[in-house]
């Protein structure tokens, strides 16, 4: 039971570590877009304020509000709303350059309500594909000469005829069955020798043209360049 709870906590922590940065980035992307839109809407009014009120938009709003012309008086409320919205967004943008934990605290406690709600409604869970890699399950007899750093060729079933390049990142410290939930008991007296498989982590080269199209769960075939013989894993 404790092992299960630890696994659940680890999974939740991993999920949060992936999703929280994406959520924060989306919030500030939408903040930048709204701030730019507000500035564009205020641009002609800012030009008038620069010419007649030393750039003070509040003075321009007061001028509109006290103008005997009902058209100007009516526009004063809309102009004041635009000015207030931009001020709020500018205050929000200050947190954009803070550490992620302060950003998260701000979003949870004092985020701009409408912007935060809009972010949550438009957020989609993400997978960090820039960090995509391959786990090749090689037979133990194939790993005699395999070492981290060796170049590999990776063929993805989805992209027939295309070969991606990468290298061996690391070799697991134990066979795959060692980490199984129920490991076979070899002390029963009826042991049968079976060639074991050892996970090998393979990373893509940065200049692979199909790197951005790789998706988790795809099937691949791998060839490790040993210069003398080949090793294959899938």
CATH number of the domain that 197 lies in?
A: 2.40.30.170
pLDDT at residue number 14:
47
142-154 per-residue burial string, b: 16 or more CB within 10 A, e: under 16: bbeebeeeeebeb
Residue that terminates a domain, selected from 65, 93, 122: 122
- pLDDT higher than 50, residue 51: yes
Token pair, residue 109, equals 């406690």
Domain with 54, as residue range(s), is 2-122
Please, which pLDDT band fits residue 11 given cuts at 50, 70 and 90? very low
pLDDT digits (tens, 9 = 90+) for 71-97: 888 888 888 999 998 998 898 888 888
Average pLDDT over all residues of the chain: 80
Asked if residues 147 and 137 have their Cβ atoms less than 8 Å apart, the reply is no
Residues 146 and 34 in one domain: no
pLDDT at 170: 92
Residues 51 and 80 in one domain: yes
pLDDT at 118: 84
User: 215-221 long-range CB contacts below 8 Å, 24 or more apart?
Assistant: 215/129, 215/132, 215/158, 216/127, 216/129, 216/132, 218/156, 218/157, 218/158, 219/156, 219/157, 220/134, 220/136, 220/154, 220/155, 220/156, 220/157, 221/154, 221/155, 221/157
Residues 93, 145 within the same domain: no
């Amino acid at each position: 039971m404790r092992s299960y709870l630890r696994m659940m906590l680890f999974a939740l922590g991993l999920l949060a570590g992936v999703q929280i940065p994406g959520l924060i980035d989306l919030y500030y992307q939408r903040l930048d877009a709204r701030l730019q839109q507000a500035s564009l809407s205020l641009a002609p009014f800012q030009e008038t304020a620069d010419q007649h009120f030393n750039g003070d938009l509040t003075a321009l709003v007061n001028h509109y509000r006290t103008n005997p012309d009902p058209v100007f008086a009516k526009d004063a409320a809309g102009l004041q709303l635009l000015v207030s919205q931009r001020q709020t967004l500018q205050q929000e943008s200050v947190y954009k350059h803070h550490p992620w934990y302060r950003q998260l605290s701000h979003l949870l406690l004092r985020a701009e309500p409408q912007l935060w709600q809009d972010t949550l409604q438009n957020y989609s869970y993400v997978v960090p594909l820039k960090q995509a890699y391959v786990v090749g399950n090689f037979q133990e007899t194939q790993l005699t000469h395999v070492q981290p750093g060796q170049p590999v060729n990776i063929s993805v079933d989805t992209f027939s005829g295309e070969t991606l390049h990468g290298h061996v990142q690391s070799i697991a410290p134990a066979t795959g069955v060692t980490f199984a939930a129920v490991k076979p008991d070899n002390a029963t007296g009826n042991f049968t020798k079976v060639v074991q498989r050892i996970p090998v982590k393979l990373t893509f080269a940065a200049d692979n043209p199909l790197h951005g199209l790789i998706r988790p769960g795809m099937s691949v075939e791998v060839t490790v360049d040993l210069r003398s013989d080949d090793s294959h894993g899938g």
